[in-house]
Structure 1
Amino acid sequence: MKGFRRLALAVATLAIGAAPAFAFPDRPVQLIVPWAAGGGMDAVMRIFANGLEAELKQPVNVINRTGGGGVTGHTAIATGAADGYTIGGVSPELSFFKTLGLGDLTVDSVDMFSRVSLIPAGVTVKADAPYKTVADFLKAVKESPKGTFTSSGTGTGGSWHIASGGLMKAAGLPADQIRWVPSNGGAPALQDLAAGGITAFTGSPIEAKAMLDGGRVRTILTMTEERHPNFPDVPSAKEAGLDWTYQNWFAIAAPKGVPADRRKILYEAAERTMKREDVRKGMADRGITPVWDTPAQLQDYVKTFSERGNGVLKDLGLAKN
């Protein structure tokens, strides 16, 4: 009997040893979005998540973690478990938190894979606003006391705030001529605009598409070199004689320290995702330019972008570091 038990134990041990390791991932992955549902990043990340699900053969659950002008969600990505089951969408605000004195979070706090999209800033006003052109709008801003006009779209010092400050400088005005009203993203800011709570939205007209289609708001400028293909009737900044362009970017990142084999699976699945026709078309149909970087391209782009944005933050009087 004892011999039989020893034999059974040996067989069981061999069976366990021969069992294949589980395939990663074997359960759902969460994708943290630091901004509100319905905004630009949320739209991009949900398109991306649908494609990534198909590549990983596992659900990818989008989790909106808002608050603190993006600090809450970006912190959740940086401090998430480094097991490959947490990834996130990173926005340009991560380049500016330290300058703004909001903590030590930087682009080096996470493992950035690549940018996945570019979205242009613009100037959007209420449908019944008296400003038919950006020239009308800037004339009214110039003739009014500082702070009379208000704008929103992100937290103080966030990407769309920088877009507003850079536009004011290009128009020969102080960067803070328009008073900034912080928000948790484009969606709540646009609701505020439609209700008359703010004068302008300097985020992307892509975020405003539903309201534009519904006739509740009007976009009078895109902060681009040329007219945007999705907004052919809207002048570009260059066309309006303004030396200022600004495009927001969203990137995919993970907590630092994900095991190399799992990171490789995630990275390659993300790269395949951005080659999928349904993902590229889903973004392009919304006016979002899909992007995939090499590591060197990403590093160079983020460095230049950060320097430019931090310069505007100094002009806005917001730089603490």
Structure 2
Amino acid sequence: MKPAMLIRSCTLALTTAVFSGAVLAQAWPSKPVRLLVPFGPGSGTDTIARVVADGLSESLKQPVVVENREGAGGLVGTRAAMTMPADGYTVVAISNAFLIAPQLFKAAPYDPTRDFTALSKVAAMPMTIVVGASSPFRTMKDLIDYIRANPGKASFATSGKGAQSHLEIEYIKQQLRLNAVDIPYKSTGAAIGDTISNTVTFYMPVFPPVASNVASGKLRALAIGAPSRLPALPDIPTYIEATGIANYVPTSWFGYVVLAGTPAEAVAKLDQGIAHAATLPRVRDKIQGVGANMSVAPSREFAAEIRSEAEKWSKLINELGLRTE
């Protein structure tokens, strides 16, 4: 081949390669995106994921398919996600359990800060502390004073060892040097019933399941997980007010991650798409309809929250000796 022809051929090949790369970069996503939910249909994580998937699909102009992989407190689904390519086509819906599980179980196959890249947080449900209407405790101070004066006599309902409802109370106990007894329940309904009847002294669930009982006067809410008092619940003090624990805002939140190593373009488009979904009135209405509040944090801010909360749970779980094989 003549030198001039060789130069033209090489130039054409290089131009084609650059053009093809640009086309490929612009093409993401070129197929449907899987939104993997590590919990069963109907769970809070699942319900919110399905609502967000609708808005995300609109932004990406590709179908977003929700796939449930439940089991072992979210470990089954997370393990499945880790076997998939880090190409942005698998997004994982997460909640606080995503950070708690690897601290509880030595066999957990992932590190939430090393193995995943944060996208956005979209919603949160405030946690509350409730007592029965006939309980003598009118305020959080009343309850704290009683526990201090009667160590080991007060009891609290939880969803089981290592559940967020358990760990949050253990955190309060640690911060305020309190001694109260954990009573695990298999269902929220049973825990609510025994709190109403004063069989247990208090309970710390997310607010939506107890909202109707608080409104009807069967339960009394002593604190709410929010930075400031909620307009809809102006008489319920925040945990910061009620306990004096600085910056303590316990919530059950919902967000999204992808595998570490996912291309930056895919991360950016997914993050933008989730942010877009959160602005849609139909998405906001449905999220608020299940008792959650919009609590949007973009990827960098959410990543910082994940690191901070993971460190908190790791320290607490190790100090309590709850880590298992």
TM-score using structure 2 length: 0.70
**Is this contact kept in 2: 1:86–1:254, CA < 8 A?**
yes
- Give unmatched runs, 5+ long, in structure 2: 1-22
Indicate how the Cα distance of structure 1 residues 69 and 232 shifts in structure 2: closer, same or farther if over 3 A, else same.
Answer: same
- Report the equivalent of 2:120: 114
Distance 2:50 2:318 in 1: 34
Distance 1:39 1:212 in 2: 22
- Report the equivalent of 1:193: 191
Listed one character per residue, the Cα deviations across residues 270-318 of structure 1 (whole Å, up to 9, x for unaligned) are 23223334334544564513213242x3333322222233333234332
Distance 2:189 2:320 in 1: 25
Indicate how the Cα distance of structure 1 residues 214 and 75 shifts in structure 2: closer, same or farther if over 3 A, else same.
Answer: farther
Matched, 1:181 2:179: no
Distance 1:167 1:138 in 2: 10
Amino acid of the residue matched to residue 171 of structure 2?
A: G
Shift of 1:205: 0.9
Listed one character per residue, the Cα deviations across residues 63-121 of structure 1 (whole Å, up to 9, x for unaligned) are 44443233233333333455544322122333343432342422122232122234332
Distance 2:211 2:89 in 1: 32
Task: Within 5 Å, give how 1:125-164 maps onto structure 2.
Answer: 125=131, 131-139=137-145, 141-142=147-148, 146=152, 149-153=155-159, 156-164=161-169
Matched, 1:247 2:251: yes
Aligned residues: 294
Amino acid of the residue matched to residue 244 of structure 2?
A: L
Shift of 1:252: 0.6
Amino acid of the residue matched to residue 308 of structure 2?
A: T
Distance 1:315 1:56 in 2: 44
Bigger fraction of residues in helix:
2
Indicate how the Cα distance of structure 1 residues 77 and 145 shifts in structure 2: closer, same or farther if over 3 A, else same.
Answer: farther
Q: Percent identity?
A: 24
**Is this contact kept in 1: 2:117–2:303, CA < 8 A?**
no
- Report the equivalent of 1:87: 91
Distance 1:46 1:228 in 2: 26
- Give unmatched runs, 5+ long, in structure 1: 1-19, 184-188
**Is this contact kept in 2: 1:30–1:86, CA < 8 A?**
yes
Distance 1:180 1:36 in 2: 25
Distance 1:58 1:283 in 2: 22
Distance 2:47 2:141 in 1: 31
Indicate how the Cα distance of structure 1 residues 203 and 281 shifts in structure 2: closer, same or farther if over 3 A, else same.
Answer: same
- Cα RMSD between the aligned structures? 3.9
TM-score using structure 1 length: 0.71
Task: Within 5 Å, give how 1:1-321 maps onto structure 2.
Answer: 29-35=33-39, 38-80=42-84, 82=86, 84-102=88-106, 103-107=108-112, 108-125=114-131, 131-139=137-145, 141-142=147-148, 146=152, 149-153=155-159, 156-174=161-179, 177-179=180-182, 181=184, 189-196=187-194, 199=200, 200-209=202-211, 212=214, 217-243=219-245, 245=248, 246-256=250-260, 258=262, 262-283=266-287, 286-295=291-300, 297-319=301-323
Shift of 1:211: 5.2
